[in-house]
Amino acid sequence: MADTSARILRLLSLLEARTEWLGAGLATRLGVSARTLRRDVHTLRELGYPVEAVKGPGGGYRLGSGGKLPPLVLDDDQAIAIAIALQTAPATVVGIDDAVARALTTLRQVMPSRLRAASEAFELTALRNYWEFAAPPIGVATLQAVGAAIRTHRTLRFDYRSPDGRIPDPGEPDFTPPREVEPHHLVVWAGRWYLIASDRRTRKWGTYRVDRIAPRNPAGALFTPMPLTDEDLTRLVIQNPDRGDTVAQWPCRGSATIDLPASVVARWAPGGSVVEHIDEQRCTLTIGGWSWMGVAGLFVTFGSDLYDIEPDELGDALRELAARLRRSQTLTQREVPVRHSTNVPGQYT
């Protein structure tokens, strides 16, 4: 009986892993006859799992929708991966700490002792890296509202917060009326969540920082989604200087004009920086950091001439960096003794 139960769980796991299976292939993977396979499929159906027969040469099976929630069947690597992912999730989404803790506890309760010990070795402690350009965390209610609108193909109305997190009141200089969009994709890039959506009024594509979205209603009018390729998403997020980024709150923040297209700089600029389009060949980049020399070093990585440098502290840091590089070129290279190998492997004279 125990062997039969284990085999049926294995069958269920295989059906979950692939859209369709040939009957002969399933029987081979399970090491059983075609008759035993048919009997096991019948058992799954009696338990409430909609296993459908696939017509065609040789016949086959697939797991349909609408049945009972199958038991979670994970291999060792999958279980460890989920345990790690659960611990890192609260870094970008707020309001799920308790749910994460309960899910992690449930997962570990059903793990074998050897696997539980391995997962506990991955107890993570968050330590501050001062070169992180972290985005503000997102409220779980916001994420649920945006995700539901994408999943159900319904328009989404929302207020868009200003860079300081406020919703400007009517009459304020930065006030904008609520936006109504057709949401298509959620994209996570460089530690930030972005919504890709088509404006309901202008029919133009827009990229919005999810941490700045304040949904007004979770469900609007139905719309027909338009297909977007990976190249489209790259253009709308990675190469897009108008993706709603704001300069991270660092002690030192500087800007300069760069002789590079905004799409190129936006792709490689560190998170927490802002790129502003000037023309097809130039843009303005604003970067924050913990020191002026650090900010200067980030600008240098683009390998381009810099103009309109602000503030003066950034200009001073760039001049000091240039002076240090010139001095390093004048240093005499230290002579290194040459070691000649002998006939004895591993020995030098």
Tell me the pLDDT tens digit for each residue of 205-264: 999 999 999 999 767 899 999 989 989 999 999 999 988 888 777 889 999 999 999 999
Give 129's pLDDT tier (boundaries 50, 70, 90).
Answer: low
317 pLDDT exceeds 90?
Answer: yes
The H or E element spanning position 255 is: strand 252-258
- Taking the C-alpha atoms of residue 186 and residue 208, their distance in angstroms, rounded to an integer, is 10
pLDDT at 309 exceeding the cut of 90: yes
Strands (E), 48-178: 51-54, 60-63, 93-94, 138-139, 156-160
The residues facing 9 across adjacent strands are none
Structure-token match 């099976």, residue found = 61
Is the pLDDT reported for residue 110 higher than 60?
yes
91/191: higher pLDDT = 191
Distances in Å between the alpha carbon of 1 and those of 7, 8, 112?
10, 11, 21
Burial of 275 (0-12, 13-18, 19+ CB in 10 A): buried
- Do residues 298 and 292 touch, judged by C-beta distance below 8 A? no
pLDDT tens for 279-304 read: 999 999 999 988 999 999 999 999 99
Report the alpha-carbon distance of residue 17 to residue 7 in Å, rounded. Answer: 15
Banded model confidence at residue 81, pLDDT cuts 50, 70, 90? confident
Provide the pLDDT for residue 114: 72
Domains, the chain, ordered by start: 2-63 (1.10.10.10), 76-120 (no CATH), 138-238 (no CATH), 252-330 (3.30.70.250)
φ, ψ at 124 (rounded to 5°): -100, 140
At residue 252, the 3 state secondary structure works out as strand
What the block records as the tokens of 123 is: 């107890």
Nearest C-alpha neighbor of 212 from the set 131, 146, 127 = 146
pLDDT band at 347 (very low <50, low <70, confident <90, very high): very low
Dist CA 345 CA 329 (whole Å): 38
pLDDT of residue 92: 67
Report the b/e string of 289-319 with b at 16+ CB within 10 A. Answer: beebbbbbebbeebebebeebeeebbbebbe
Q: Which of 16-25, 177-186, 212-221 has the highest mean pLDDT?
A: 177-186
**335 close to 293: Cβ distance less than 8 angstroms:** no
Q: Which residues contact 98 (CB under 8 A, 6 or more apart)?
A: none
Pairing assessment for the beta strands 21-22 and 138-139 based on DSSP bridges:
unpaired
Take residue 133 and report the two structure tokens written for it.
Answer: 């350009």
Paired strand residues for 274: 286
* Mean of all residue pLDDT scores within the chain: 82
